[in-house]
């Protein structure tokens, strides 16, 4: 019992689901495990005093600050295409920072189970597959905080900087969807690695290396780029630079709506990656 | 040096809550000192303070005659072995490799490893990774680590935790043999009264951070008045007759057997005479000691669940 | 006593995959950097020096600190698990040496990584057909960058000791690195630990960022080291050990 009780937070998490289980069983004696809502609540309780939200919010603040710094030497011409520039540069930055940020969030949340050795206990309280899903959804919450904050933050920054370019809500919506989708697939990999890895080295290495790959994959030929998951922040960027026309003085930018076909293909592949990850996790013995 | 450890009103407070309060411990050199108390009584905290792991809020600690403070810390630790909370280990390394690390840190030759492994009977599992050990094996590895360097003082916090009955017996025998074999003094904590009864020469009883009793085990037993259990061919009649004779007898309402609350020869003798006078056959006459549970109850006024 | 601590740390790292990261991760910027260099020969004309910036910009800006943070987190995680704090702090060695022992491991990993990056640089340069020998400057910069570990490594070791999470210190390292670029741009690189690696490696300019005078750089490294290591030792001395936090 000592191991399980090793963390203060753990103690709460250990006690609560058990209590909840009794409650649910009271209502429906044959229910095999706690209900989804309760499990979600249990996850929430594990995180009290952990301040996980600081990770995405901190990164968000840094990235927006960074963007703000670049606005200061904008001229009229730039102000007229400011949002395009924002969306473009943000997807580039996402490809470096999001993989690391997601690996930190996933590892932080999963490692408390590994450290506290709570998987054994949790398996008796909830179905492993469901535990995997709920935990993932929980991590997803932080990703959505990040990408939503990023999208809104860009709009507000643009307003504050006096951009003359009209806001295209559809493009911002697509930016939000694309960045969240790519992040979600990367998160599913991090999630699986963090739950399977006993020492958390591997998931963090993958996170750091993924950031590297994402950054550099933009220099790759398009066919190779498509094979690298971390490069999709760039591929699905809703604004692009026309490098042919761009000179030292002016950057020619344009919006490029999400390619529906390949985006749906990406989502399907992403779902597949998630399921493979779940399958690998379920094979692990506790 | 009569006492290897002495503390003077040792106190640990978290906020307003006293975890350990004005503790005056005297651990005689060469003894097995049983540190007894229910869970959460402050045993672990006291032991952690003795090792310098936790800093006292008040009071003093002297070990080997030297005051426990920064300049003496290493000197004291060098001759101290400990097993605190759950057994420490690096899971990705084998048992032997774990011990090698301790040897390196203590600055002692690795040749000692074989002898401590033999002492805890773990020679055959030494090359397995510790993460695959059972809790009992980890506990033994922890003890082996504590024994490295033949420390003069050994602090063991609930060393039988997680062991199976055979393992518990083995661990007790091992601990009992240490003072004689290696000249060690052992401070061992437990929440099990029976366990301390079987191992210790001296006892300190702590509850809610305060020391309730401290002396040799023998004197603890003197505290417990002995009594005589009597069974006869007719317990009911015998009870009435003996009560009339003003002997301190009680009758157990369930079993019906009689208890004479005294072991004085004269009273026992009278008892026998009276029974034979009334032609009641005597079946059993045995001396019974008050159990440690009873003593604890007497000291704390609180029933302890074990 | 320090030697004993270092030896013990080395033994703890047996059978761990910790070395794989510093071999694997620098290969990515190496391949990409070379690639980028070859694609932009028109713009990058300073040969070995140009290749150097391609090689080391992202490594020293964004990836060195998280990488070393990974090692620091791993070293302390070993102690955070299984009550090992109790053993570590009852070992008859000064607490100062406990911390320094771990720091030495971090320095060694840094040196190893730096040498590996440099080796990759030489090999890739030769494969690109760059003429002549590697400029001596780059050797100097590489060694100077290694010294930055005294600031970054010590800080990360302190963070991972205090924060009992594996991942959060790594996040802090990345965040600190991002901010580091701002400091470099402002010319304040000596006032922020995370920008010291970039300054030392001289990875964003072809001419020497420190203007040939290494003294302020060294002073900054030493000061950061003293502050972080001092804090760590003080923390170890004053705090109650919580083995099961």
Domains in chain C: boundaries:
2-11+18-238
B259/B281 Cα distance (integer angstroms)? 16
Instruction: Extract long-range pairs of A170-173: CB within 8 Å, 24+ residues apart.
Output: A170/A257, A171/A83, A171/A87, A171/A238, A171/A239, A171/A255, A171/A257, A172/A83, A172/A87
Domain boundaries, chain A: 51-111+130-283
Report for A111-115, A128-132, A245-249, B182-186: range of highest mean pLDDT? B182-186
Phi first, then psi: what are they for B23, rounded to 5°?
A: -85, 125
Q: Do C178 and A62 touch (CB under 8 A)?
A: yes
Would you call A8 an interface residue with chain B, using a CB distance cutoff of 8 Å? no
Would you call C12 an interface residue with chain A, using a CB distance cutoff of 8 Å? no
**What confidence score (pLDDT) does residue A15 get?**
40
CA atoms in the 13 A half-sphere facing the CB of C97: 18
Separation in Å, CA of C52 to nearest CA in chain A: 16
Residue C232 has pLDDT above 80, yes or no: yes
Range of weakest confidence among A242-256, B154-168, B218-232: A242-256
**What confidence score (pLDDT) does residue B224 get?**
64
Separation in Å, CA of A55 to nearest CA in chain C: 7
**What confidence score (pLDDT) does residue A185 get?**
93
- If you count DSSP H runs as helices and E runs as strands, how many of each does chain C have, helices first? 12, 0
Q: Do C171 and A219 touch (CB under 8 A)?
A: no
Encode burial over A208-244: b for 16+ CB neighbours within 10 A, e otherwise: bbbbbbbbbbbebeeeebeebbbbbbbbbbbbbbeee
Residue C159 has pLDDT above 90, yes or no: yes
Residue with tokens 């102000």: A79
**Which chains form contacts with chain B, at 3 or more CB pairs under 8 Å?**
A, C
**What confidence score (pLDDT) does residue A148 get?**
92
Q: Do C168 and A58 touch (CB under 8 A)?
A: no
**What confidence score (pLDDT) does residue B233 get?**
87
**What confidence score (pLDDT) does residue A246 get?**
66
Q: Do B86 and A3 touch (CB under 8 A)?
A: yes
pLDDT-based confidence at residue A180 (cuts at 50, 70, 90): very high
Query: What's the mean pLDDT when you consider all of chain A?
Result: 77
Interface test with B, best of C5, C14, C87 (most B CBs within 10 A): C87
Domain boundaries, chain B: 3-222, 225-288
Angle between helices C136-147 and C149-162 in degrees, nearest 10? 30
Average pLDDT rounded to a whole number, residues C191-196: 87
Residues paired with residue B14 on neighbouring β-strands, in sequence order: B17
Query: What's the mean pLDDT when you consider all of chain B?
Result: 83
pLDDT-based confidence at residue B293 (cuts at 50, 70, 90): low
Average pLDDT rounded to a whole number, residues B82-106: 85
Q: Do B86 and A2 touch (CB under 8 A)?
A: yes
Closest to C145 (Cα-Cα) out of C187, C189, C196, C205: C196
Q: Do C91 and B55 touch (CB under 8 A)?
A: no
Residue C78 has its nearest CB partner, among B54, B90, B102, at: B90
Average pLDDT rounded to a whole number, residues C181-194: 82
**What confidence score (pLDDT) does residue A188 get?**
92
Separation in Å, CA of C96 to nearest CA in chain B: 12
Task: Tell how far CA B189 is from the center of its chain.
Answer: 5
Residue C63 has pLDDT above 70, yes or no: yes
Q: How far apart are the first and last CA of chain B?
A: 36
Residue A6 has pLDDT above 90, yes or no: no
- For A191-215, the pLDDT digits (tens) are 999 888 877 888 888 888 888 888 7
Pairing of the two strands B202-207 and B32-36? parallel
Would you call A170 an interface residue with chain B, using a CB distance cutoff of 8 Å? no
**What confidence score (pLDDT) does residue C143 get?**
86
Separation in Å, CA of C45 to nearest CA in chain B: 50
**What confidence score (pLDDT) does residue A274 get?**
92
Residue A238 has pLDDT above 90, yes or no: no
Residue B281 has pLDDT above 80, yes or no: yes
ipTM for this model: 0.76
**What confidence score (pLDDT) does residue A37 get?**
67
Residue A280 has pLDDT above 70, yes or no: yes
Range of weakest confidence among A219-223, A262-266, B46-50, C157-161: A219-223
Separation in Å, CA of B79 to nearest CA in chain C: 9
A201/A208 Cα distance (integer angstroms)? 11
For domain B225-288, the CATH class is alpha beta
**What confidence score (pLDDT) does residue A268 get?**
92
Choose between B189 and C136: higher pLDDT: B189
Is residue C223 classed exposed, middle or buried when 0-12, 13-18 and 19+ CB atoms within 10 A define those classes? middle
- Cβ-Cβ contacts under 8 Å, C12 against chain B: 90, 93, 101
Interface test with A, best of C165, C167, C244 (most A CBs within 10 A): C167
**What confidence score (pLDDT) does residue A39 get?**
67
Q: Do C244 and A199 touch (CB under 8 A)?
A: no
Closest chain A residue to the Cα of C69, Cα to Cα: A204
**Which chains form contacts with chain C, at 3 or more CB pairs under 8 Å?**
A, B
Residue C175 has its nearest CB partner, among A59, A106, A208, at: A59
Residues paired with residue C53 on neighbouring β-strands, in sequence order: none
- Cβ-Cβ contacts under 8 Å, A198 against chain B: 91
Encode burial over A133-157: b for 16+ CB neighbours within 10 A, e otherwise: ebbbebbbbbbeebbebbbebbeeb
Residue B218 has pLDDT above 90, yes or no: no
Residue B89 has its nearest CB partner, among C5, C8, C82, at: C82
Query: Taking a C-beta distance cutoff of 8 angstroms, is the pair A45, A13 a contact?
Result: yes
pLDDT-based confidence at residue C206 (cuts at 50, 70, 90): low
B88/B81 Cα distance (integer angstroms)? 13
Residues of chain B that touch chain A, judged by Cβ-Cβ distance less than 8 Å? 85-86, 91-92, 161
Closest chain C residue to the Cα of B84, Cα to Cα: C86
Residue B74 has its nearest CB partner, among C92, C240, C243, at: C92
Pairing of the two strands B153-157 and B185-190? parallel
**What confidence score (pLDDT) does residue C226 get?**
93
C146/C213 Cα distance (integer angstroms)? 17
Measured over the CA atoms of residue B100, residue B132, residue A133 and residue A24, the dihedral's sign is negative
A256/A271 Cα distance (integer angstroms)? 25
- Cβ-Cβ contacts under 8 Å, C171 against chain A: 55, 58-59, 100-101, 104
Q: Do B102 and C243 touch (CB under 8 A)?
A: no
Alpha carbon distances (Å) from A163 to A74, A94, B247: 10, 22, 105
A130/A111 Cα distance (integer angstroms)? 18
Would you call A49 an interface residue with chain B, using a CB distance cutoff of 8 Å? no
The DSSP code for A29 is T
Separation in Å, CA of A137 to nearest CA in chain C: 19
Q: How far apart are the first and last CA of chain A?
A: 16
Phi first, then psi: what are they for C234, rounded to 5°?
A: -60, -45
Residue A14 has pLDDT above 70, yes or no: no
DSSP A216-231: HGGGS-HHHHTT-GGG
Would you call C36 an interface residue with chain A, using a CB distance cutoff of 8 Å? yes
Would you call A2 an interface residue with chain B, using a CB distance cutoff of 8 Å? yes
**What confidence score (pLDDT) does residue A47 get?**
65
For domain B3-222, the CATH class is alpha beta
How many pairs of residues across B and C have Cβ atoms under 8 Å apart? Answer: 90
Would you call A3 an interface residue with chain B, using a CB distance cutoff of 8 Å? yes
The DSSP code for A22 is H
Average pLDDT rounded to a whole number, residues A30-44: 60
Closest to A179 (Cα-Cα) out of A269, A53, A89, A58: A89
Q: Do A2 and B161 touch (CB under 8 A)?
A: yes
Q: Helices marked H in chain B — which ranges?
A: 43-50, 70-78, 95-106, 112-119, 135-147, 165-182, 193-199, 217-223, 235-244, 265-277, 292-300
Residue with tokens 């002692």: B108
Q: Do C238 and B55 touch (CB under 8 A)?
A: yes
Separation in Å, CA of C61 to nearest CA in chain B: 33
Compute the residue count for chain C: 245
Alpha carbon distances (Å) from B223 to A197, B201, B268, B291: 56, 15, 20, 11
Angle between helices A54-71 and A82-116 in degrees, nearest 10? 160
pLDDT-based confidence at residue C208 (cuts at 50, 70, 90): low
Tokens of B54: 């936790």
Residues of chain C that touch chain B, judged by Cβ-Cβ distance less than 8 Å? 1, 4-5, 7-8, 11-12, 14-16, 78, 81-87, 89-94, 237-238, 240-241, 243-244
The DSSP code for A271 is H
């Amino acid at each position: 019992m000592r191991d399980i009780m090793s963390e203060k937070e753990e103690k709460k998490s250990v006690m609560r689901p058990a209590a909840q289980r009794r409650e649910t069983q009271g209502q429906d004696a044959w229910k095999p495990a706690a209900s989804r809502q309760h499990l979600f609540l249990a996850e929430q309780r594990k995180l009290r005093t952990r301040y996980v939200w600081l990770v995405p919010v901190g990164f968000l603040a840094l990235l927006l600050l960074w963007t703000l710094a670049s606005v200061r030497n904008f001229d009229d011409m730039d102000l007229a295409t400011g949002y395009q520039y924002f969306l473009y540069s943000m997807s580039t930055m996402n490809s470096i920072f999001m993989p690391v940020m997601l690996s930190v969030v996933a590892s932080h949340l999963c490692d408390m189970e590994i450290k506290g050795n709570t998987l054994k206990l949790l398996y008796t309280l909830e179905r492993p597959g469901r535990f995997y899903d709920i935990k993932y959804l929980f991590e997803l919450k932080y990703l959505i905080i990040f990408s939503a904050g990023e999208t809104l933050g860009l709009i507000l920054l643009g307003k504050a900087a006096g951009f003359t370019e009209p806001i295209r809500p559809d493009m911002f919506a697509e930016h939000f969807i694309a960045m969240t989708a790519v992040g979600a697939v990367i998160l599913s990999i991090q999630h699986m690695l963090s739950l399977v890895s006993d020492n958390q080295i591997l998931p963090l290495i993958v996170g750091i290396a993924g950031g590297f790959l994402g950054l550099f994959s933009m220099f790759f030929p398009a066919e190779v780029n498509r094979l690298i998951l971390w490069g999709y922040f760039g591929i699905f960027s809703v604004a692009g630079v026309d490098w042919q026309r761009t000179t030292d003085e002016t950057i020619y930018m344009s919006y490029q709506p999400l390619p529906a076909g390949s985006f749906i293909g990406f989502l399907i592949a992403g779902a597949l990656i998630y399921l493979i990850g779940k399958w690998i996790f379920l094979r692990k013995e506790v | 040096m009569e006492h290897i450890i002495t503390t003077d009103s040792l106190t640990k407070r978290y906020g307003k809550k006293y975890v350990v309060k004005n503790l005056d411990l005297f651990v005689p050199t060469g003894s097995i000192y049983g540190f007894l108390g229910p869970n959460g009584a402050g045993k672990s905290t006291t032991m952690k303070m003795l090792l310098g792991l936790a800093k006292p809020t008040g009071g003093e600690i002297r070990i080997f005659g030297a005051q426990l403070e920064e300049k003496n810390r290493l000197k004291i630790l060098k001759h101290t072995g400990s097993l605190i909370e759950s057994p420490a280990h690096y899971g990705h390394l084998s048992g032997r490799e774990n011990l090698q690390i301790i040897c390196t840190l203590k600055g002692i030759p690795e040749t000692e490893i074989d002898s401590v492994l033999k002492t805890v009977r773990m020679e055959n599992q030494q090359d397995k990774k510790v993460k695959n050990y059972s809790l009992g094996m980890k506990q033994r590895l922890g003890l082996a680590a504590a024994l490295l360097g033949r420390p003069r003082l050994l602090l063991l916090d609930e060393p039988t935790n997680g062991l199976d009955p055979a393992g518990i017996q083995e661990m007790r025998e091992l601990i009992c043999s240490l003072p004689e074999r290696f000249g060690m003094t052992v401070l061992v904590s437990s929440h099990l009264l029976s366990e301390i009864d079987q191992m210790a020469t001296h006892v300190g009883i702590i509850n809610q951070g305060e020391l309730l009793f401290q002396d040799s085990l023998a004197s603890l037993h003197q505290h417990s008045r002995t009594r005589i259990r009597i069974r006869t061919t007719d317990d009911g009649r015998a009870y009435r007759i003996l009560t009339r004779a003003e002997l301190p007898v009680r009758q157990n309402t369930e079993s019906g057997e009689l208890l004479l609350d005294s072991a004085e020869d004269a009273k026992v003798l009278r008892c026998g005479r009276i029974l034979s006078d009334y032609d009641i056959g005597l079946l059993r006459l045995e001396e019974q000691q008050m159990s440690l549970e009873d003593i604890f109850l007497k000291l704390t006024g609180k029933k302890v669940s074990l | 006593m320090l030697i004993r601590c270092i030896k013990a740390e080395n033994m703890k790292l047996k059978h761990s995959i910790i070395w794989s990261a510093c071999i694997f991760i620098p290969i990515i910027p190496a391949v990409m950097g070379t690639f980028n260099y070859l694609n932009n020969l028109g713009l990058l004309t300073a040969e070995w020096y140009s290749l150097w910036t391609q090689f080391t910009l992202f490594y020293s800006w964004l990836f060195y600190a998280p990488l070393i943070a990974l090692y620091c987190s791993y070293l302390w995680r070993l102690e955070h698990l299984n009550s090992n704090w109790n053993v570590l702090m009852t070992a008859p060695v000064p607490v100062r040496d406990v911390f320094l022992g771990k720091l030495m491991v971090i320095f060694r990993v840094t040196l190893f990584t730096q040498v590996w990056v440099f080796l990759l640089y030489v090999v890739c340069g030769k494969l690109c057909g760059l003429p002549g020998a590697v400029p001596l400057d780059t050797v100097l910069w590489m060694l100077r960058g290694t010294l930055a570990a005294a600031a970054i490594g010590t800080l990360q070791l302190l963070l991972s000791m205090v924060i009992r999470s594996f991942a959060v210190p790594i996040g802090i390292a990345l965040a600190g690195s991002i901010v580091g670029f701002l400091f470099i741009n402002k010319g304040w690189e000596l006032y922020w630990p995370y920008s010291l690696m970039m300054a030392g490696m001289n990875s964003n300019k072809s001419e020497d960022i420190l203007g040939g005078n290494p003294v302020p750089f060294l002073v900054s490294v030493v000061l950061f080291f003293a502050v972080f290591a001092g804090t760590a030792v003080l923390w170890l001395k004053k705090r109650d050990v919580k083995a099961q936090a």
